[in-house]
Amino acid sequence: MGNDGGSIPTRRELVKEAARALTSSQVKESLNEQQEYHWSHDPLTRKPLSKPVVSDSAGNLYNKDSILEFLLPSEDGEVKKEKAEEVLGGRVKSLKDVVEVKFEVDESEEKAPNGGTGRMEKWICPITNKELGPGAKAVYLVPCGHAFAGSVVKEVSEQICLQCNEPYAENDVIPILPTSTTDIARLSLRVKTLKEKGLTHSLKKASGSKKRKKRAEKEDNGLNRESTDEAKAKATSSEEEKKAFKAPKPKPATNASNGIKNASTASLTAKVLAEEEARNKRRKLEQNENVRSLFSSRDQNPKAGNSADYMTRGFSVPNGSKR
3-state DSSP helix/strand/coil % of the chain, to nearest 5: 45, 10, 45
Residue 202: pLDDT over 90: yes
Residue-wise burial string across 238-273, b where 16 or more C-beta atoms lie within 10 A, e elsewhere: eeeeeeeeeeeeeeeeeeeeeeeeeeeebeeeeeee
CB-CB neighbours of 185 under 10 Å: 11
Give the pLDDT band (50/70/90) at residue 252: very low
Determine the Cα–Cα distance for residues 173 and 169; give it in Å rounded to an integer: 7
More confident residue, 168 or 260: 168
More confident residue, 220 or 141: 141
pLDDT of residue 94: 92
Give the pLDDT band (50/70/90) at residue 23: confident
pLDDT of residue 74: 73
Residues 6+ apart with CB under 8 A from 58: 89, 91, 178, 184, 187
* Percent of the chain surpassing pLDDT 70: 62
Homologous superfamily assigned to 26-207: Zinc/RING finger domain, C3HC4 (zinc finger) (3.30.40.10)
Domain segments of the chain as ranges = 26-207
Residues 6+ apart with CB under 8 A from 116: none
Residue 288: pLDDT over 80: no
pTM as predicted: 0.58
Residues 6+ apart with CB under 8 A from 198: 205, 206, 209, 212, 213
Residue type at 270? A
pLDDT of residue 297: 56
